[in-house]
Amino acid sequence: MKDKSDVWQGTLSLMVLKTLDLLGPQHGYGIARRIEQTSGELLSINHGTLYPVLLKLEQEGSIASEWGVSDNNRKAKFYRITRSGKKELAAEEREWQRATEIIARFSKSGDQSI
């Protein structure tokens, strides 16, 4: 069985926005499960961490929510990405790509002293 890791600081917002962009409206549990599945079950999403991120994204206008009924017929809050959220997602993806490229330069430098 694989050990699960916590989500790296600053990445959960990106993962939430990407999930909503790909899947459309989802409730919190659905978002958490999708992130865990996409990670190959290597990440564990703590709901005590997820919901403050959802609230923050909603306050910033990146996502919007409305109450609905889940697949198991329970009342649930569904979140969707907004137009400004799509812009934020694109900006965050560019920033993470840039950061990844920078880190890759260090990995490629081998055993050389920095």
Q: Is the pLDDT of residue 69 over 60?
A: yes
Which among 7, 20, 15, 14 is positioned nearest to 63, based on CA atoms? 20
Domain residue extents for the chain: 12-108
Over 60: is that where the pLDDT of 56 sits? yes
Percent of the chain at pLDDT > 90 equals: 71
| pLDDT(72) > 50 | yes
pLDDT score at 1: 46
Euclidean distance between CA atoms 44 and 35, whole angstroms:
8
Query: Is pLDDT of 67 > 90?
Result: yes
Of the candidates 20, 42, 40, 21, the one whose C-alpha atom is nearest the C-alpha of residue 31 is 20
**Angle, alpha carbons 98-99-104 (nearest 5°):** 100
How high is the pLDDT of residue 87?
97
Q: Contact at 8 Å (CB) between 14 and 96?
A: yes
- Among 5-19, 26-40, 53-67, which is the least confidently predicted range? 5-19
12-108: which CATH topology?
Answer: Arc Repressor Mutant, subunit A (1.10.10)
- Condensed to tens digits (0 to 9), the pLDDT of residues 86-110 reads 999 999 999 999 988 999 999 887 6
| Mean pLDDT of the 42-65 span | 94
